[in-house]
Chain A
Amino acid sequence: MKASPHLVLALLITVCFTVATTTQPKALNWSVRAQADSVLKVLLGDGRRMFANHFFTQADVVFHSGYYPSIFDKREKPTASPIQGGHDEHGESSEESEQHVHGENCNHGEDAHEKEMAFLNQPRDWIERFGRNFFVTDHTHLADGKEREILPWLRLSAELDPQRVETYTVAAFWLRTKLGKVAEAEQFLREGLQANPRSYEILFALGQLQYESHRDSNRARNLWELALRRWQDQESGKEEPDISGLREIALNLARLEEEQGNLRRAIQHLELAKRISPHPEVLQKQIEELTQKLTAPL
């Protein structure tokens, strides 16, 4: 039996119509997802976070001009090291402390950092000794505007994982303080805030930008007070809250209020900072000074 070409054509048209009606809703759904998320998110799914971490670490590698410990060097460190084991003075885990790109919030001493990065021991054999001629063996940091080289990796990291708050704050810090790109820093922080509307870290960084770069104390105060409320909403109930974040917000608010002459508010913020500070005696002294100013006759 020979099928009529018209019948075959009709069958093919019917099949096409059926396939189209079946796949159309799925395709529409897919394109809506693609608009809502980035193409990378659609393609990589949650795996993109792994790449985002890698690019964030790569930014740190670039910041150290290629001088960076490998997983083998990390394993060699003594486990009793205060940096390697448990938490350092920031409350960061060792994993986090090894990956940071020395942002604004990083105030641990140079000595501790030098110790952390002194992973090259004496060469064990002639191969290792000779091989050191061919890779970076000096611990240096980018300077004189060369810090810009970390930015592409941070941008990529943010593209891959928009929920990684640290990427925005670190990039904004370098953009604003070392490269003089305040507008770009603000734009990037706002992108971060759009992706993480409840982030107190980004609000705090935006406040710093307003206070230090735009000299806009009112906006800075509003942003920091919002950051403080967000911190209390998210962190106060936790077993291990981000104390350093709260301390930064409270101390900056105290400084701002003192400069604006609102001494009572400044004392309130200093009291808050004192409760969580590793050096409460220093803050107590400042509180006493402000109290004296407040009670002194005009």
Chain B
Amino acid sequence: MNTVWALTGVVIKELYRRKDFYVLLVLTAMITLAAGSASFFNDAKIVGYLKDICLLLIWVSALVIAIGTAARQIPAEREQRTIFPLLAKPVTRWQVIVGKFLGCWLACGLALVVFYAFFVVVTGSREHHWPVLNYFQAMWLQWIMLGVVIALVLFGSIVFSAASANATICFVLVVGILLIGRHLNKVALQQPEPLSTFIYVIYFLIPHLEWYDVRDLIVYDHGLIPWLQCGLATLYGAAYVLLFLFAAWLAFRRKRLSV
């Protein structure tokens, strides 16, 4: 396990050495503060649009960080040929996969904490109430979703030849699921056979990442999600993480590492 943690530590250090996170945080802060400084009909109590914009920016930034960080892990090791001394330590390929995953996931978790801290301060200063548990649920669910995305991207980084292709395909896939994943069953019912069955199968196969997007519940001040449902969603996410990591290990096990 120490080996895995060592790999994890390297990935986390990489995140705070690179500029991506800082650039995205500053952009998010600047756009949110600029939006917050606007006055609409001399009403200082309006806060919903600010929450909406800030959460959207957090979601986009977190996805960019997660996909960007995860997509370059294994290809970079291969291109710089550092994968050979790494595997000669000895470190198993399964440990590399798990270490890289944990590193990316924890790094995204740290980024999320900073983003949500900013969000809580900005919205709290406007509306003067602090639904901390709601924010915690939103952050937790987003973090679980990012875990699934990172595992998927790690799997993609072994399957696809270039990191850029992998990042683009994964980004399109994730955004597609977030936008229409929930509606695929309705689309399926309106199609003729066998297209209907085909779409329905996809609907059951894909990880339903849209469950983890609870921004509307935060923006419109809805109540807490039942903790049991949060727990079940966490288990569902964990199952997909394990599935993608296992698939990544299977592909990585037989992969020729020379470029």
Q: Say yes or no: B49 contacts A131, CB within 8 Å.
A: no
Complex alpha-carbon distance, A295 and B190, angstroms: 66
Instruction: Answer yes or no: B48 CB below 8 A from chain A CBs.
Output: yes
Q: Say yes or no: A72 contacts B183, CB within 8 Å.
A: yes
Q: Say yes or no: A134 contacts B217, CB within 8 Å.
A: yes
Instruction: Answer yes or no: A125 CB below 8 A from chain B CBs.
Output: yes
Q: Which of A43-90 contact B (CB under 8 A)?
A: 62, 65-66, 70, 72-73, 75-76
Q: Contacting A134 at CB < 8 Å: which of B43, B203, B214? A: B214
Q: Contacting B208 at CB < 8 Å: which of A70, A131, A151, A152? A: A131
Number of interface residues of A (CB under 8 A): 30
Q: Which residues of B contact A34 (CB under 8 A)?
A: none
CB of B190, distance to nearest CB on chain A (Å): 7
Instruction: Answer yes or no: A179 CB below 8 A from chain B CBs.
Output: yes
Q: Which residues of B contact A153 (CB under 8 A)?
A: 49
Q: Say yes or no: B185 contacts A124, CB within 8 Å.
A: yes
Q: Which of B74-82, B90-98, B225-233 contacts A (4 or more CB under 8 A)?
A: B225-233
CB of B229, distance to nearest CB on chain A (Å): 4
Q: Which residues of B contact A127 (CB under 8 A)?
A: 185, 203-204, 208
Q: Which residues of A contact B216 (CB under 8 A)?
A: 66, 135-136
Q: Which of B191-229 contact A (CB under 8 A)?
A: 203-204, 208, 210-214, 216-217, 219-222, 225-226, 229
Q: Say yes or no: A73 contacts B186, CB within 8 Å.
A: yes
Complex alpha-carbon distance, A175 and B49, angstroms: 17
Q: Say yes or no: B211 contacts A149, CB within 8 Å.
A: no
Q: Contacting B43 at CB < 8 Å: which of A66, A72, A130, A151? A: A151
Q: Which of A88-143 contact B (CB under 8 A)?
A: 124-125, 127-128, 130-131, 133-136
Q: Which residues of B contact A151 (CB under 8 A)?
A: 40-41, 43, 46
Instruction: Answer yes or no: B45 CB below 8 A from chain A CBs.
Output: yes
Q: Contacting B186 at CB < 8 Å: which of A72, A148, A175? A: A72
Instruction: Answer yes or no: B42 CB below 8 A from chain A CBs.
Output: yes
Q: Which residues of A contact B41 (CB under 8 A)?
A: 148, 151, 155, 175, 179, 181, 184, 188
Q: How many A-B contacts are there with CB distance less than 8 Å? A: 92
CB of A77, distance to nearest CB on chain B (Å): 11
CB of A158, distance to nearest CB on chain B (Å): 11
Instruction: Answer yes or no: B13 CB below 8 A from chain A CBs.
Output: no
Given contacts A76-B186, A155-B41, A184-B41, are A149 and B48 in contact (CB under 8 A)? yes
Q: Say yes or no: A181 contacts B42, CB within 8 Å.
A: yes
Q: In the complex, which residue of chain A has the Cβ closest to the Cβ of B186?
A: A72
Q: Say yes or no: A148 contacts B46, CB within 8 Å.
A: yes
Q: In the complex, which residue of chain A has the Cβ closest to the Cβ of B53?
A: A152
CB of A134, distance to nearest CB on chain B (Å): 5
Q: In the complex, which residue of chain A has the Cβ closest to the Cβ of B206?
A: A127
Complex alpha-carbon distance, A73 and B185, angstroms: 11
Complex alpha-carbon distance, A155 and B42, angstroms: 12
Instruction: Answer yes or no: B23 CB below 8 A from chain A CBs.
Output: no
Given contacts A130-B211, A133-B229, A136-B216, are A152 and B40 in contact (CB under 8 A)? yes
Q: Say yes or no: B213 contacts A134, CB within 8 Å.
A: yes
Q: Contacting A131 at CB < 8 Å: which of B45, B46, B180, B211? A: B211
Complex alpha-carbon distance, A73 and B183, angstroms: 8
Complex alpha-carbon distance, A130 and B38, angstroms: 39
CB of B237, distance to nearest CB on chain A (Å): 12
Q: Say yes or no: B229 contacts A130, CB within 8 Å.
A: yes
Q: Which residues of A contact B180 (CB under 8 A)?
A: 72
Q: In the complex, which residue of chain A has the Cβ closest to the Cβ of B179?
A: A70
Q: Which residues of A contact B213 (CB under 8 A)?
A: 134
Q: In the complex, which residue of chain A has the Cβ closest to the Cβ of B200?
A: A125
Q: In the complex, which residue of chain B has the Cβ closest to the Cβ of A181?
A: B41
Q: Contacting B46 at CB < 8 Å: which of A72, A135, A152? A: A152
Q: Which residues of B contact A65 (CB under 8 A)?
A: 220-222
Given contacts A76-B186, A149-B49, are A134 and B233 in contact (CB under 8 A)? yes
Complex alpha-carbon distance, A70 and B45, angstroms: 29
Binary contact readout B28-48 vs A (1 if CB under 8 angstroms, 0 otherwise): 000000000010111101111
Complex alpha-carbon distance, A130 and B208, angstroms: 11
Q: Say yes or no: A152 contacts B49, CB within 8 Å.
A: yes
Complex alpha-carbon distance, A134 and B41, angstroms: 33
Q: Say yes or no: A136 contacts B187, CB within 8 Å.
A: no
Which residue among B182, B208, B226 has the maximum number of chain A CB atoms within 10 Å of its CB? B182
Binary contact readout B160-197 vs A (1 if CB under 8 angstroms, 0 otherwise): 00000000000000000000101101110110000000
3 tightest Cβ-Cβ pairs between the two chains A and B: A66-B216, A149-B48, A72-B183
B residues lining the A interface (CB < 8 Å): 38, 40-43, 45-49, 141, 180, 182-183, 185-187, 189-190, 203-204, 208, 210-214, 216-217, 219-222, 225-226, 229, 232-233
Q: A151-B41, A184-B42 known; 7 other A-B pairs, CB under 8 Å? A: A72-B187, A75-B190, A124-B185, A127-B204, A130-B232, A179-B41, A181-B43
